[in-house]
A = this chain, B = another copy of it.
Amino acid sequence: MPTEIERKFLVDGDGWREAVESETRIMQGYLANNQNATVRVRVAGEQAWLTIKGMMRGPSRSEYEYAIPSEDAVAMLDELAVSAPIDKVRYRVRCGGHIWDLDVFAGENQGLVMAEVELASEDEPFEMPDWAGREVTGDGRYYNVNLARHPYRHW
């Protein structure tokens, strides 16, 4: 079973910008979010993905991801998503031996900047970046699926 283990942190300041390796505009929305699973549609640059995630068990969850045609993804976001899509730019930022995903949100979540690092195991060591602020792993408000329905600007 594919499993995703990640830790998430708020981001303080702009110190991360000097370590950016790439950036991608992401639009994503959710076809479902129930007790068993979330179903996400994501358009990332020229590519698109359909992703099924199981429920969180601590920092772990099962994840199944499939590439799909971008035009399908755009149509599903427009027609079938349960709320307006999330709009963000994802920066890939190196820190020590890890690449972090740092998301600068726009639209209804403007002002929120959040970073996550994916780990091979729950106890894998990693270097904490200078710009990493408060850890929000497991805080439901910061799940993208919840940011879609209860955006940061309305908190």
A residues near B (Cβ < 8 Å) are: 1, 31-32, 34-37, 39, 50, 52, 54, 62, 64, 66, 68, 72, 75-76, 79-82
Of A37, A54, A66, most buried by chain B (CB within 10 Å of CB) is A37
Cross-chain contact A79 with B39 (CB below 8 angstroms) = no
Q: Is the CB of B31 within 8 A of A52?
A: yes
What B residues does A75 contact at CB under 8 A? 1, 62, 64
Known: A31-B36, A52-B76, A62-B80. 11 other contacts (CB 8 A): A31-B37, A31-B52, A32-B37, A34-B34, A34-B82, A36-B81, A36-B82, A39-B52, A50-B52, A64-B72, A64-B76
Contact between chains at A80 and B37 (CB < 8 Å): yes
Q: Complex Cα distance A72/B3, Å? A: 12
Determine how close the nearest CB of chain B comes to the CB of A89; give it in whole angstroms: 26
Q: Which of B32, B34, B66, B79 contacts A50 (CB 8 A)?
A: B66
